[in-house]
Amino acid sequence: MKNLTFEIEINAPADIVWNAMWNEENYKKWTSAFCEGSYAKSSWKQGERIHFLDPNGNGMYSEISTLVPNEKMYFTHLGNIKEFEEQPLDEATKAWSGAQENYEIIKVGSLSKVLVTLDIVDEYANFFLESFPKGLNTIKEIAENNE
């Protein structure tokens, strides 16, 4: 596994940036950088499960391990989902189960810096190195145009 870090400065306060990231419609917009039509199903509460899904109901399930509104959201990835059903862990899944994906919003003067760190299986690193900056730029556009 590799650990990747991404960051972007956004000219908007933390609450606006938070909304740009986690509001249901905004989330769909910025995560289309990874998969068109992707979405999340969750209660959005710390300690609860979240399902990250594509339009066919495939994806992964995770736990929201930390949630501090307007500051941080941490996910611990647990396993795969196929056709909307959580799958038991197999050997391939065990290799990444427990991986972290962490989002922080840090005030930097009048700006908000979004810092993302994630554990990623080596074979997907290049995909995320290409797509994550696109997703973050979409968050920036949403936040800066919705102030």
Q: Does residue 1 carry a pLDDT above 70?
A: yes
Is the model's pTM score more than 0.85? yes
Average pLDDT, the chain: 96
Count the Cβ atoms, other than its own, within 10 Å of residue 63: 16
* Interval 21-59: pLDDT, tens: 999 999 999 999 999 999 999 999 999 999 999 999 999
Domain limits for position 78: 2-145
Q: Cα separation of 98 and 94, whole Å?
A: 8
pLDDT band with cut points at 50, 70 and 90 for residue 100:
very high
User: How much of the chain exceeds pLDDT 70, in percent?
Assistant: 99
Confidence band of 147 (pLDDT split at 50, 70, 90)? low
pLDDT-derived band of residue 146, with 50, 70 and 90 as boundaries? confident
DSSP string, 26-43: HHHHHHTTTSTT-EEEE-
Q: For position 14, which CATH number holds?
A: 3.30.530.20
Domain total in the chain: 1
